[in-house]
Amino acid sequence: MFRHVVLFTWAEDATDEQKAAVAAGLGRLPDAIPEIRAYALGSDAGVNPGNHEFALVADFDSVDDYLVYRDHPVHQAVIAEHVKPILAARAAVQFTV
Amino acid sequence: MFRHVVLFTWAEDATDEQKAAVAAGLGRLPDAIPEIRAYALGSDAGVNPGNHEFALVADFDSVDDYLVYRDHPVHQAVIAEHVKPILAARAAVQFTV
């Protein structure tokens, strides 16, 4: 299995509505991109200081299936319309499980 | 379910042996900490530039079980002996799945 992990920190002036639009937009991707095998996302629970604010963990059968997801126009539209306008910092890893 | 995600970037002078000791040390934690429900770790696949170098995704039944893991002496020993000596950057989120 091939796992994609990405963490976001939002801009200080990002609104709750903008943050919710990211979660809603990403949350629709499993219906649009059949290569997605598992998909979990959520906002940081606030247990530890210094964390990023949002996490997404997505599983695929292969690197190629991940690349279909990464480059899928519906995914790219969510990034352009909802993520990038409020993005302050991003951290990611893709690894074989 | 409560999910812990952490990404590491290693110091430039970190050796392959030191990086392998992190993976080996963390990989032994599921045997030492029964609160761990799922545990996946690995090095970045090199598909995308700008990534961190290592990821760990751990699942627990509850926040309290995560805190048992976070503060467990065997976990803290791995952090002190293997992670911190070669750590250049860290990014984390804990979220409810």
pLDDT of residue A82: 98
Rounded CA-CA distance B45/B47 in Å is 6
Average pLDDT, stretch A31-60? Answer: 98
Please state, in angstroms and rounded to a whole number, the distance separating the CA atoms of residues B89 and B6.
11
pLDDT digits (tens, 9 = 90+) for A46-65: 999 999 999 999 999 999 99
Per-residue pLDDT band at B33 (split at 50, 70, 90): very high
Residue pair B47/A67 in contact (Cβ under 8 Å)? The answer is: yes
For chain B, which residues lie within 8 Å of any Cβ of chain A, measuring from their own Cβ? 2-3, 5, 7, 40-45, 47-48, 50-55, 57, 63, 66-67, 70, 91-97
Mean of the pLDDT values across residues B54-63? 98
Q: Was domain A2-96 assigned CATH 3.30.230.10?
A: no
